[in-house]
Copies of this chain bind each other. A is one copy, B any other.
């Protein structure tokens, strides 16, 4: 058997089951957004950007190498930039919903920005303040706008044990530190980022991608970089 079967078609990636039980992620050029404006956090595909899939993969390749160098495991087996595809180990996402889909997303913030700033506007004393790698966790649920969930609720709903939750939060902070340091070397400042985490053989590892789609970055003049620009600055 050499054929691979398409098992899922996501907004920006297609998934294929490989004969060796691994998964092949194929990065697409589709971009999500709202009202014609590209926004990786949006839930609707609004068009395509030539080469976007390969760029996301190249950036993921770069950051996964940084993570591996720091001893942080990911699901990556090998990747093929030409084909915009990445072979990964089969992972069980953390905190699936009752239909076996969904999952948790781990956000790490170095300062108040975006939805966080809108939500807690009246409680943020100094908007120039920085956070010591603040973690927020949301559940994947497009229909309900990916609601925030607190640690106690994650455990109460049986989505994760307290121990795995702590491991996942620790992993999130470590990944954020590494990405932040790498960007700082390039004169850029990481504002916040989002990762997905899964179990592979019972181990908590980084899954999916670490690309411009999942981070907010500013230059040394405090301007938040548009994602296309960020790709240009980070991958030649």
Binding site for B on A (CB under 8 A): 95, 97-99, 102, 118-125, 131-132, 134-137, 139, 141, 144, 147-153, 156-159
Contacts and interface: CB of A to CB of B under 8 A. Distances in A.
Contacts of A158: 125
Contacts of A159: 123
B124 A152 contact: no
A175 to B, nearest CB: 16
B136 A123 contact: no
B149 A124 contact: no
Contacts of A157: 120, 123-125
A36 to B, nearest CB: 27
Given A98-B124, A124-B98, A124-B157, A119 B144 contact: yes
B152 A134 contact: yes
A144 B156 contact: no
A57 to B, nearest CB: 30
